[in-house]
């Protein structure tokens, strides 16, 4: 059976690993990048606490020695359902089963100025670009004589009070009180503010009330200005406009406020649901199609009675759907019953800063905060990295940062734009 998987994130990689080594399947994994990366630690690359290689790993190296799994670098242009072909920017692939595991992309809610001028936090490229921009702006602030203009370089606005927004705000607060004072003496007397803006009535809305309260208290104590019931409405001329009428002067609007799925030519319009996610049945088959499936953030499944409005767009859903679909493909060949997907919620967590985190466990229902929650967060994220090499290098960097209260990765490295490939 020819299996084509579009996307090598949590969902796609676990589906491919679930079918690896089975000679009944000829698997081709397609991705626009030649590496898998770990999105929950993107913000640590963006803030120069980890190197990109610490959270990424090449697909070809990952599947080297696995004869039935192949990698194809490419981007999807369209799908020809009549001929069972997917058209890439560099060729075509035939399939018996086509699986979309393309995740989600940044959603700017139609605000063009925000899209053009803010700093997204979705891909590894985004993280590297953010690191370079922030470091360059610090250097410019250090030679800026106008205090009002200097404040624009130093003020940071984070839009979105989910885990990413909370974690990056906490990281910036710690950097401001440590690294900024040590390495930028020119800015030691300058005023800088970190704003965390969210339209809801609490941070970390999917988590427990205790986690929300603990997070708000910890961030406020760290000096982060949290603005709830606030939404960004525009971003022009270094000014962030809020729906309350307030404005914040800043050159640094970090966008972590929402995501949406992608639409692909050839997939029926009726196959898409809320947030442009592909509507799937209990077995992750896309509705109104015969042999096309969707897993992870790019799909919405309303058949799980515990999640009637669809599953949260988190890593564990993607991982479990990928593994379940692999088992179903094997059962299909053996004429065995298929297993409907049921999400097993293992809990949720967010890190706030050094020795500060919150963790919610569903069964038994428990809440942790502080140092023990921070250790749990470190362990879970370390073990979730795809290779031993990633785990060792990440652990090493974390230990250096913990004991030295610093990192030595703050270098501005940009490719030569004149170079040709």
Please tell me the distance from the alpha carbon of residue 307 to that of residue 162, in angstroms, as a whole number: 19
Same fold, 2-32+74-104+261-333 and 112-259+348-404: yes
Look at residue 94 in the predicted model and tell me its pLDDT: 98
Confidence of residue 329 (pLDDT cuts 50, 70, 90): very high
Question: What sign for the dihedral angle of Cα 177, 181, 184, 190?
Answer: positive
Closest of 181, 104, 127, 194 to residue 154, by C-alpha: 194
Angle between helical axes of 315-333 and 10-19 (0-180°, round to 10)? 30
What's the pLDDT tens digit per position in 365-379?
A: 899 999 999 999 999
In angstroms, the first-to-last Cα distance of the chain is 35
CATH topology of domain 112-259+348-404: FAD/NAD(P)-binding domain (3.50.50)
Average pLDDT over residues 258-282: 95
Q: Which two structure tokens, joined as six digits, stand for 56?
A: 């990424």
Question: What burial letters (b/e) apply to 168-182, b meaning 16+ CB within 10 Å?
Answer: bbbbbbbbbeebbee
Residue 87 and residue 78 in contact, taking contact as beta carbons nearer than 8 Å: yes
Q: How many residues does the chain have?
A: 421
Confidence of residue 421 (pLDDT cuts 50, 70, 90): very low
Average pLDDT over residues 333-355: 95
Name which of 19-23, 52-56, 282-286 the model is least confident about.
52-56
Phi then psi for residue 37, to 5 deg, are -135, 165
Question: What burial letters (b/e) apply to 135-161, b meaning 16+ CB within 10 Å?
Answer: eebbeebbebeeeeebbbbbbbbbbbb
Look at residue 278 in the predicted model and tell me its pLDDT: 98
Look at residue 420 in the predicted model and tell me its pLDDT: 47
Look at residue 305 in the predicted model and tell me its pLDDT: 94
Q: What is the pTM of this model?
A: 0.92
Q: Is 56 helix (H, G, I), strand (E, B) or coil?
A: strand
Average pLDDT over residues 350-361: 95
Look at residue 405 in the predicted model and tell me its pLDDT: 67
Percent of the chain's residues with pLDDT above 90: 81
CATH superfamily of 2-32+74-104+261-333: FAD/NAD(P)-binding domain (3.50.50.60)
pLDDT at residue 136 is higher than 60: yes
Mean of per-residue pLDDT scores for the chain: 93
Closest of 37, 35, 32 to residue 394, by C-alpha: 37
Confidence of residue 190 (pLDDT cuts 50, 70, 90): confident
Domain boundaries, the chain: 2-32+74-104+261-333, 112-259+348-404
Look at residue 187 in the predicted model and tell me its pLDDT: 82
Look at residue 409 in the predicted model and tell me its pLDDT: 64
Look at residue 404 in the predicted model and tell me its pLDDT: 72
Please tell me the distance from the alpha carbon of residue 407 to that of residue 354, in angstroms, as a whole number: 14
pLDDT at residue 177 is higher than 50: yes
What's the pLDDT tens digit per position in 76-135?
A: 999 999 999 999 999 999 999 999 999 999 999 999 999 999 999 899 999 999 989 998
Look at residue 191 in the predicted model and tell me its pLDDT: 77
Q: How far is CA 138 from CA 128, 176, 240, 392, in A?
A: 16, 11, 19, 31
Please tell me the distance from the alpha carbon of residue 301 to that of residue 311, in angstroms, as a whole number: 7
Please tell me the distance from the alpha carbon of residue 403 to that of residue 406, in angstroms, as a whole number: 8
Q: Is 303 helix (H, G, I), strand (E, B) or coil?
A: coil
Look at residue 408 in the predicted model and tell me its pLDDT: 61
Name which of 11-20, 33-42, 178-187, 398-407 the model is least confident about.
398-407
Confidence of residue 419 (pLDDT cuts 50, 70, 90): very low
Please tell me the distance from the alpha carbon of residue 393 to that of residue 92, in angstroms, as a whole number: 38
Average pLDDT over residues 327-350: 96
Q: How far is CA 316 from CA 162, 346, 371, 400, 411, in A?
A: 16, 8, 24, 29, 33
Confidence of residue 49 (pLDDT cuts 50, 70, 90): confident
């Amino acid at each position: 059976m020819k299996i084509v998987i579009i996307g090598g994130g949590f969902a796609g990689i676990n589906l491919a690993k679930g079918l690896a080594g089975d000679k009944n399947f000829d698997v081709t994994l397609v991705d626009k990048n030649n590496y898998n990366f770990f999105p929950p630690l993107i913000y640590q690359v963006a803030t120069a606490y980890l190197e990109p290689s610490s959270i990424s790993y090449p697909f070809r190296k990952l599947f080297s020695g696995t004869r039935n799994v192949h990698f194809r670098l490419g981007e999807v242009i369209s799908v020809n359902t009549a001929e069972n072909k997917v058209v890439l920017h560099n060729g075509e692939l035939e399939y018996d089963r086509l699986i979309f595991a393309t995740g989600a992309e940044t959603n700017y809610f139609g605000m063009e100025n925000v899209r053009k001028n803010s700093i997204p936090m979705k891909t590894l490229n985004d993280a590297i670009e953010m690191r370079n921009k922030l470091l360059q702006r610090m250097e410019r602030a250090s030679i800026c004589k106008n205090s009002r203009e200097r404040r624009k370089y130093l003020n940071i606005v984070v839009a979105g009070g989910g885990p990413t927004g909370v974690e990056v705000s906490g990281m910036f607060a710690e950097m401001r009180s440590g690294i900024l004072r040590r390495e930028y003496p020119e800015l030691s007397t300058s005023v800088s503010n970190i704003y965390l803006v969210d339209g809801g009535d609490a941070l970390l809305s999917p988590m427990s009330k205790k986690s929300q309260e603990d997070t708000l208290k910890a961030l406020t104590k760290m000096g982060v200005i949290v603005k709830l019931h606030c939404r960004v409405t525009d971003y022009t001329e270094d000014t962030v406009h809020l729906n309350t009428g307030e404005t914040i002067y800043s050159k640094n609007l970090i966008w972590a406020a929402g995501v949406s799925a992608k639409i692909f030519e050839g997939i029926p319009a009726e196959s898409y649901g809320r947030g442009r996610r592909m509507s799937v049945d209990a077995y992750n088959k896309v509705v109104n199609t015969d042999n096309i499936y969707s897993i992870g953030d790019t799909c919405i499944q309303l058949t799980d009675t515990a999640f009637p409005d669809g599953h949260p767009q988190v890593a564990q859903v993607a991982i479990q759907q990928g593994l379940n679909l692999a088992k179903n493909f094997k059962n299909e060949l053996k004429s065995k019953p298929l297993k409907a997907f049921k999400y097993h919620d293992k809990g949720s967590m967010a890190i706030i800063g050094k020795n500060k985190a919150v963790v919610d466990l569903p069964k038994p229902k428990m809440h942790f905060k502080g140092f023990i929650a921070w250790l749990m967060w470190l362990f879970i994220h370390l073990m979730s990295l795809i290779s031993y090499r990633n785990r060792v290098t990440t652990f090493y960097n974390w230990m250096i940062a913990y004991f030295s209260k610093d990192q030595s990765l703050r270098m501005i490295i940009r490719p030569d734009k004149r170079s040709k490939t």
